[in-house]
């Protein structure tokens, strides 16, 4: 019985070190490698099939730029003196300002620093960005704060009582 146990132990040791029963040549591990590759590939494919829809959902779709040449901003009587109004110019915001001197001016309402939306501050007489306290004068030029360049100017056209805003040429 001892010889049988010893023989079984030898088989177990030989199997662990990759030898066949005769002890002369290593056992091929092709089946193990194949299964390892198959399972790893299956796991990676499953992981990709789970993660791709999540990433695709979180990434917003690209929208084409709407080409707009002019928009109606409303009636002149609806715009108070010394006030500002944000209007949509395609997909971009534009600020329309009616000054205390009854002038109409329009600029891009997107701050040139970090693309925050600007607003007209009546008490300061300036266009103001709340993100980092950027200030622009009523000509769109930088007064103070971090904005690197002036606001883009738009043209204001009066057609009777109707106010139109168009791109400056």
If one counts the domains in the chain, the total is 2
Same domain, 77 and 159: yes
Strands (DSSP E) contained in the chain are 70-75, 83-89, 92-98, 104-108, 118-121, 126-129, 134-136, 142-144, 153-159, 162-167
Same domain, 52 and 74: no
pTM greater than 0.85 (yes/no): no
**65 lies in some domain:** no
Q: How far apart are CA 133 and CA 64, in angstroms?
A: 31
Same domain, 9 and 30: yes
Within its chain, how far is the Cα of 134 from the centroid? 23
In DSSP terms, 88 is beta-bridged to 93
DSSP helix/strand/coil, 18: coil
The domain in which residue 117 lies consists of 70-167
pLDDT, one tens digit for every residue, the chain (169 residues): 555 555 555 555 555 555 555 555 555 678 888 889 999 999 999 999 999 999 999 988 877 766 778 888 888 888 888 888 999 988 889 999 988 888 899 999 999 888 888 988 888 888 988 888 889 998 888 888 888 899 999 999 888 889 989 887 6
**63 lies in some domain:** no
Same domain, 111 and 159: yes
Residue 128: which CATH number?
Answer: 2.102.10.10
Same domain, 97 and 163: yes
DSSP helix/strand/coil, 69: coil
């Amino acid at each position: 019985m001892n010889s049988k146990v010893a023989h079984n132990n030898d088989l177990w040791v030989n199997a662990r070190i990759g030898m066949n029963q005769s002890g002369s040549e290593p056992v091929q591990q092709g089946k193990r490698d194949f299964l390892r590759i198959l399972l790893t590939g299956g796991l990676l494919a499953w992981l990709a099939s789970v993660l791709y829809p999540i990433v695709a959902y979180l990434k917003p779709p690209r929208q084409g730029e709407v080409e707009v040449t002019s928009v109606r901003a409303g009636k002149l009587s609806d715009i108070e003196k010394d006030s500002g109004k944000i209007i949509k110019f395609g997909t971009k915001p534009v600020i329309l300002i009616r000054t205390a001197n009854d002038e109409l001016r329009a600029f891009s309402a997107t701050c040139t620093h970090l693309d925050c939306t600007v607003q007209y501050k009546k008490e300061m007489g300036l266009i103001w960005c709340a993100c980092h306290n950027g200030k622009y004068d009523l000509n769109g030029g930088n007064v103070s704060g971090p904005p690197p360049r002036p606001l883009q100017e738009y043209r204001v056209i009066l057609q009777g009582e109707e106010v139109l805003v168009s791109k400056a040429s």
